[in-house]
Amino acid sequence: MIIEVIVCRPDGTQETEQREVPEDWFPSAPEISEEPAE
């Protein structure tokens, strides 16, 4: 799939580019199993 990526650099510049990534690029979400912090 094609995704939009913003590339940021130390000099403060940023640019948007399109990038082809594998279908499984976005990680699977670990389960939320613990209690929220107080």
Partner 1 sequence: MASTNKTANLALNQWVLTDPFLMEDMNADNQKIDAALGAVALAKLLDVTTSANAQQVDLDVSSIDFTKFSSIKVIASIRVTPLGTAQQLFGRINGAGANIREIFSSSSSLPLQTYAGYGFVCSTDGPCSTLELELTGFPAATTAQYLVALMSHGSSLLNGSFWRHDYVGMKLFDANVKLSSFSFLTDNSSVNIKAGSRFEIYGVRK
Give the footprint of partner 1 on this chain (CB under 8 A).
1, 3-10, 12, 14, 16, 19, 21-22, 25-30, 32, 34, 36-38
> What's the closest the beta carbon of residue 10 comes to partner 1, in angstroms?
5
Measured from the CB of residue 36, what is the shortest distance to partner 1 in angstroms?
Answer: 4
Collapsing DSSP to helix, strand or coil, 21 comes out as: coil
Backbone angles phi, psi at 3, to 5 degrees: -125, 160
Q: Name the minimum Å distance from CB 37 to partner 1.
A: 5
Which residues, 6 or more positions from 2, have their beta carbon under 8 angstroms from its beta carbon?
A: 18, 19, 20, 21
